[in-house]
Structure 1
């Protein structure tokens, strides 16, 4: 691969972010475009400013330890029309279970079932298969039940940088 000029490198980074199925870290972008991390960081800042300055359907977002191009919220209704199963592809029961885990983690299956009032075994299996939750340990009580928490994939899926960006719960 040849040495890229700044505008070419910025376009290459933009292209990589557009086609990536997950957020790309500075280290990954550095390896892919062959530039030092400081240069990649500066190009990301420039890209972010360009997306914010001009009216685009996307904006550059930091998610977890990486960056991705995300649809601007005001254009999401148009994108949603493409997805017949809803914005996340998850059932209402799965979303409710996932929300409980996100806000209460680490949490056991029994604690989730106590909140929901129904069995959640299949929902937990589904959410684990999708990579949205994982086992994060065992509770130090008799029986040592599994504790569940969200994954970095959860952050990517919902466009969050970290769990602090979860909306406040209404009491």
Structure 2
């Protein structure tokens, strides 16, 4: 019996759902088409438009059936996600595990790289005021950071940048969805970032509003 012969037809919609459910990383539309054609034995790849149509039909069926699953684009591919309505329950479930892995030093290091990337270890150490070697190694192990290359300066130090896994873990479609610098400081809640944040604001051409602890006093002395 030919392995490509099925008792019942396997649709592109079914294949898309299975791949999105079974894979840890987002799967590209092209990969969905390739896998479908390879197994079913079609002479030509399904079109990307056909995958988009299957995606829309699947999500419609989930919504009509009252299911919390959805297949959405994340970090350049498609993956199974859940609706916002169940987010608090998932957050409660995963909170302890996430806290165990991402300690404050790891979060600090990750935040610095996210906003300065690509960044060298020396740049990260300068902001944190301590050696970041262990934090960088751990974040590399967790696949939240990757080596981006080497800086064109003396010594050619390695450059670090965030990964697609970083986007997935923090629910971001791309780096443009990172919180702005003011929000980031509030999330970190660390006064040690004030000076570096000020420099980053200036580098990005942003203005710090009234009440910013690191901005000059807005009060002026009247003269006569």
**Interval containing the TM-score (normalised by the shorter chain):** 0.7 to 0.9
Pairing partner for 2:28 from 25, 30, 43: 25
Cα distance in 2 for partners of 1:75, 1:132 equals 25
Aligned to 2:93, the other structure's residue is in SS state: coil
Match of 1:136 in 2: 148
1:58 counterpart = 2:69: yes
Q: Radius of gyration: which is bigger?
A: 2
Match of 1:11 in 2: 14
Larger CA deviation: 120-129 vs 58-67: 58-67
Cα distance in 2 for partners of 1:114, 1:131 equals 23
1:68 counterpart = 2:76: no
Larger CA deviation: 79-88 vs 63-72: 79-88
The alpha carbon displacement at 1:130 in A equals: 1.8
The alpha carbon displacement at 1:44 in A equals: 1.6
Structure 2 gaps, min length 5: 38-44, 183-207, 209-224
The alpha carbon displacement at 1:139 in A equals: 2.2
Alignment of 1:104-115 (within 5 A): 104-115=116-127
Alignment of 1:74-153 (within 5 A): 74-83=85-94, 84-86=96-98, 89-153=101-165
The alpha carbon displacement at 1:111 in A equals: 1.1
The alpha carbon displacement at 1:63 in A equals: 1.4
Give the TM-score, by structure 1 length. 0.82
Higher RCO, 1 or 2 (CA under 8 Å, sep at least 6)?
1
Deviations 1:94-120 (A, max 9, x none): 122112111110111111112122211
Cα distance in 1 for partners of 2:112, 2:34 equals 38
Give the TM-score, by structure 2 length. 0.65
Structure 1 gaps, min length 5: none
Deviations 1:58-78 (A, max 9, x none): 332211221111223331221
